[in-house]
Amino acid sequence: MSSRLSDYDFELPESQIAQAPLARRDASRLMLVRRSTGDVSHRQFSDVLELLRPGDLLVLNDARVIPARLLGQKAGTGGRVELLVVRPAASTLTSAALDGAPESLDWLCLGQASKGLKPPQRLTFAGGLEAEVLEVLGGGEYRVRFHAPPGASLASLLDAAGRLPLPPYITREPDAADAERYQTVYARASGAVAAPTAGLHFTQDTLDALAAKGVRRALVTLDVGPGTFLPVREEELDKHHMHPERFTIPESTAREVNAARAEGRRVVAVGTTVVRTLESATEPATGLLREGPGETTLFIRPGFTFRQVDALLTNFHLPRSTLVVLVSALLGRERTLAAYAEAVREGYRFFSYGDAMLVSE
């Protein structure tokens, strides 16, 4: 077990960073890696119909990405400003607050601007949306209060003025196709600033076919935050602190997961966000999954004891990232890096619009 970030590094040619989705969601490749042996086989994503079994419980994150990237100007000077609207500042509020009046609460945002930002700087955006910088929190994060025409919600204003926040390793501006393809087909709960990308491969036909086979399905919501793509700056992993992310687990999902565990059926997490949600909401004494809202800063790394997740469907992640560390906690660091090296040799496409990996027993 390594606690050094540099031990989770690997070489990745820039040409293998997927810049756009494939024509079909389910046309991606799928690497199958066995936890028990480290054996690797190369498949197509459509093979999940063969690889998942009747009785398996597939758990998906239904978070929907919002157009959270705002480009505007400083009032008075016209200097360029960019904000990424992350979450309500009050810990008791969920992203449903997007539907409320913007001036009724404060928001945490990542920001950058010419000559920096500081209180009480006012900012202007398209559609009559304005904001006031209230506090500098460090690390590029700010507490911001939005102001808007009477009756307007922040959700409607973001729809009018915001842009889809594609990850920084996608070096083009989002286009009309991204509005559909950078969402899962089951996305419904608005509030994420990044997609739960492992789910991007599923079509409704695939989900229907899995259901017909007897694969059960359950949903959680975790509003994916910027921590999913921000660099880790500490060499010692013990010093890294995860950005908090809010989640909700429906009663029906808690019931399904607890039943699967009791009956010895596999729980298959679709994406690292689902892993962190399920493991964060586990009762320490009983091992049962609890329903309801919560917030997680859980950093899963080698040595972690998984209590809910048996298998993981995930994309290929950034070198030196918390996500590679999480996969290593399930598969083992050496086997993870060996699988990634083979993915590079075999020409797999990496990151959000890339190919997938299934880590199974």
* CATH code for the domain of 81: 2.40.10.240
Residue 172: inside a domain: no
Q: Mean pLDDT across the stretch 321-340? A: 97
Check whether residue 95 and residue 82 sit in a common domain.
yes
Does residue 98 have a pLDDT over 80?
no
Q: What is the predicted pLDDT for the residue at 104?
A: 60
**Residue 345 identity:** R
The reported pLDDT for the residue numbered 274 is: 98
In a domain, 234, yes or no: yes
What is each CA distance from 7 to 134, 199, 240, 324, in whole angstroms?
A: 39, 28, 15, 11
Residue with structure tokens 């040619």? 13
pLDDT at 96: 62
In this structure, are 269 and 328 located in the same domain? yes
Q: How many CB atoms lie within 10 A of CB 303?
A: 9
* Rounded mean pLDDT, 47-51: 98
Domain end residue (candidates: 91, 126, 161): 161
- Bridging pattern class, strands 57-61 and 216-222: parallel
Q: State whether 220 and 310 are in the same domain.
A: yes
Closest Cα to residue 223, out of 32, 68, 107, 61? 61
**pLDDT confidence band for 103 (50 / 70 / 90):** low
**Given a cut of 70, is residue 330 above it in pLDDT?**
yes
Q: How confident is the model at residue 100 (pLDDT cuts 50, 70, 90)?
A: low
Domain boundary among the residues 100, 131, 161 is at: 161
**226, 119: one domain:** no
Which structural domain range is residue 352 located in? Answer: 5-65+177-360
Same domain, yes or no: 38 and 92: no
Note the pLDDT tens digit of each residue in 12-26.
999 999 999 999 999
Q: Judge if 312 and 282 occupy the same domain.
A: yes
Domain boundary among 161, 192, 222: 161
Do β-strands 311-315 and 356-360 pair in parallel, antiparallel, or remain unpaired? antiparallel
If asked whether residues 193 and 61 sit together in one domain, one would say: yes
Between helix 322-331 and helix 333-345 the angle, nearest 10°, is: 110
Looking at the structure, tell me whether residues 199 and 320 fall in a common domain: yes
Cα separation of 247 and 245, whole Å?
7
Query: For residue 170, is it within any domain?
Result: no
Higher pLDDT: 87 or 166? It is 166
What are 272-329's pLDDT values in tens digits?
999 999 999 999 999 999 999 999 999 999 999 999 999 999 999 999 999 999 999 9
Average pLDDT over residues 160-188: 95
The pLDDT value recorded for residue 323 is 97
**Whether 84 and 221 share a structural domain:** no
Q: Are residues 292 and 355 in the same domain?
A: yes
Say if residue 46's pLDDT is above 70.
yes
Residue 169 lies in a domain: no
pLDDT at 250 over 70: yes
For residue 167, being part of any structural domain is answered with no
Phi-psi region of 264 (alpha: psi -120 to 50; beta: other; left: phi over 0): left
Residue from 250, 265, 350 nearest 311 by CA: 265
Are residues 61 and 92 both part of a single domain? no
Q: Is the pLDDT of residue 64 over 90?
A: yes
In a domain, 261, yes or no: yes
Residue 144: pLDDT over 70: yes
- Distance of alpha carbon 7 from its chain centroid, rounded? 23
Confirm whether 310 is domain-assigned. Answer: yes
Q: What is the mean pLDDT of residues 107-130?
A: 91
Count of the separate structural domains present in the chain: 2
Show the beta-strand stretches assigned E in 175-260.
Answer: 189-192, 216-222, 245-249
Residue 156 sits in the same domain as residue 85: yes
Does residue 102 carry a pLDDT above 80? no
Write down the pLDDT at residue 110: 94
Res. 150 pLDDT band, cuts 50 70 90: confident
- The answer to whether residue 45 is domain-embedded is yes
Residue 216 backbone dihedrals phi, psi, to 5 degrees: -85, 160
CATH (domain of 13): 3.40.1780.10
